[in-house]
Amino acid sequence: METTLIILKPDAVQRRLVGTIIGRFEQKGLQVVGMKLMKISPDLAARHYQDHSSKPFYPALVKFMTSQPVVVMALSGVGAIAICRNLMGATFGSKAAAGTIRGDYGISNSFNLVHGSDGPEAAQRELGLFFSPGEIHSYPMAGDTWVYDASSGKPE
C-alpha cells in the first residue's frame, strides 16, 4: 500500500467540485485515510512549493494557493501515487485528456484543480507538511476484496 497527498485547490472548492473529485478517487478504489478543509498559510505554501521558488510563476502560485480554502487528502492504495496522477491528467487543463479530472473539468493552465504528489519521497514530505501525527488513519475496508485481487496472497 502507498499513501499520497492530494490537494483540491481553491478553484475546485469554489467551483463546488469537491465531492465530484473525491468520488473519482474513491470510485477507482483508493481509500481516504486523511482529509481536512483548510486555508494554506503563505509559510506553508512556501515550504510546499520550495522547489519552484525561483520560477517566474511562483508568486502567482503562492497567491492562488493561499487565496481560498483547499481540501487536503491522504489517499491510500496499491500504486496510489501513479493511479492518482493518471486520474488527474496532464498539468494543463487545456492539454489534459478527456476522462481525467483536469481533462473533464479544467481548461486553464494556471487553475488546474488538483495537486498530487509526484513520487514516494515527495508524498512522504508533503504528507508531513499537511498532516500531524494521528491525522492519517489505517483501517480495513470490507470492499477491498472486490477492489484488489489477492488470490496470490497479496493485493495486486
**C-alpha distances out from residue 106 to 15, 119, 142, Å:** 11, 23, 34
Q: Is 137 a catalytic residue?
A: no
Cell of 8: 483540491
User: Could you tell me which residues come within 8 angstroms of residue 114 by beta carbon, excluding any fewer than 6 positions away?
Assistant: 6, 7, 8, 9, 12, 21, 88, 101, 102
Residues recognised as catalytic: 115
